[in-house]
Amino acid sequence: MSFFVYTSFMCHCYILHSKSLDQYYIGHSCEDLQERLRQHLSNHKGFSSKTKDWTIVYSEIFNSKSQAYKKRARNKNMEKQIQN
């Protein structure tokens, strides 16, 4: 008898908004989304460390990290086009 383990994980593409900065942060992660938000709100270095009022305004679930990364890249590209 043979067994195999099927592990399913979800990756997210997400957008955070900071009201105090009036800015957005676009990210992707295969971690629990609430845990990832907690990390953004913790003391660390990086763009999202500028403030502690980030909220999730968008998230989309993907079956793989590469799919989530591609969506993040498309969102960042769209953001650049809007700013120009």
pLDDT (tens digit, 0 to 9) for every residue of the chain, 84 residues total?
555 544 457 899 999 999 999 999 999 999 999 999 999 999 988 999 999 999 999 999 999 999 998 999 898 888 777 776
Say if 4 falls within a structural domain: no
Q: Is residue 49 part of a domain?
A: yes
Which pLDDT score, from 0 to 100, does residue 1 have? 52
Domain that holds residue 65: 11-83
- Residue 81's pLDDT is what? 76
Residue 77 lies in a domain: yes
DSSP codes, the chain: ----------EEEEEEEETTTTEEEEEEESS-HHHHHHHHHSS-SSGGGG-S-EEEEEEEEESSHHHHHHHHHHHHHHHHHHH-
2: in domain: no
- Is residue 1 in some structural domain? no
